[in-house]
Structure 1
């Protein structure tokens, strides 16, 4: 779960924790599609600046009133639009609604994410509040510590932790 959240900020930026599509894995999975979108220079790697640019673009999409801050309502609307985009229904049909319990859990995760991101507790999330959180999530997803994300570091693409390269427990890696 931690790994899904770590890469999720690149995806639907603010709503990654609320999307059930993150549970999908494989070459056409949401994390892989997000990776491809965030890889601005198409070199098969996502640098932190590319990730932050992608996050800023998703934030701008979500901030519908363009005031520089996102409210819980804007976040909720963005989540719904991203679900419709990434998980459309069958051809010519509307997507089935998740069961009420799944909807409740999604709303709880969304509210929890909003509380975590709203550092100054003013009821809005700004890019200044998101950047440190996104940078930490980026470093957490960077399994080999090279300050670049590659597809093999995506959730569900890595082998057992013991096979991953990177700092040993207790060691630190350069920022």
Structure 2
């Protein structure tokens, strides 16, 4: 039977401990918090605030798609496979209320303006004007939005995209 090298074994244990510590350096409670600003807005910071679920400074396409699908399914309260304007707006309002509460803000004119914009957005996103936002229409929006954020086309949205956008 081959003897194990104690120095190599010690090194492997040390690396394992180090990697475990690094992987768990963020408290478990923080990992479960979700996006900082779930109601979003415009620009790079708003995109990151709305979609960086694990708050690591990177939004992968998988992370983005999973959150958008989760929001869509949760918003479809009557489970008919599409969002009515009321469902779409109610889902956005719930995220906006969450964001305001986390920031300790009271409902203000900005809140009211964002709610008006939610209705306008629905009518823009409902491409076939049937009064329903289908999963296909949602996926079209998701595709365009992610591509807009991924300025350097590396498949993720992060600080490098913001730097490239500012440089242009």
TM range, smaller chain: 0.5 to 0.7
Partner of 2:89: 76
Q: Is the 8 A contact 1:118 1:125 kept in 2?
A: yes
Deviations 1:47-80 (A, max 9, x none): 3233222211111111111111111111221122
Partner of 2:50: 34
Q: Is the 8 A contact 1:44 1:151 kept in 2?
A: yes
Higher relative contact order (CA 8 A, sep 6+): 1
Considering only aligned residues, what root-mean-square deviation do their CA atoms show, in Å?
A: 3.2
State how far apart, in whole Å, the 2-side matches of 1:151 and 1:160 are. 9
State how far apart, in whole Å, the 1-side matches of 2:102 and 2:165 are. 36
Q: Does 1:54 align with 2:67?
A: yes
Q: Is the 8 A contact 2:60 2:156 kept in 1?
A: yes
Partner of 1:150: 158
Q: CA 1:50–1:159 in structure 2 vs 1: closer, same or farther (change >3 Å)?
A: closer
Structure 2, unpaired ranges of 5+: 1-36
Q: Does 1:87 align with 2:87?
A: no
Q: Is the 8 A contact 1:48 1:135 kept in 2?
A: no
Secondary structure of 1:88's partner? helix
Q: Is the 8 A contact 1:35 1:151 kept in 2?
A: no
Equivalent residue pairs, number: 132
Structure 1, unpaired ranges of 5+: 1-10, 165-175
Q: CA 1:69–1:81 in structure 2 vs 1: closer, same or farther (change >3 Å)?
A: same
Q: Which structure's residues are more often helix, by fraction?
A: 2
Secondary structure of 1:125's partner? strand
Secondary structure of 1:122's partner? coil
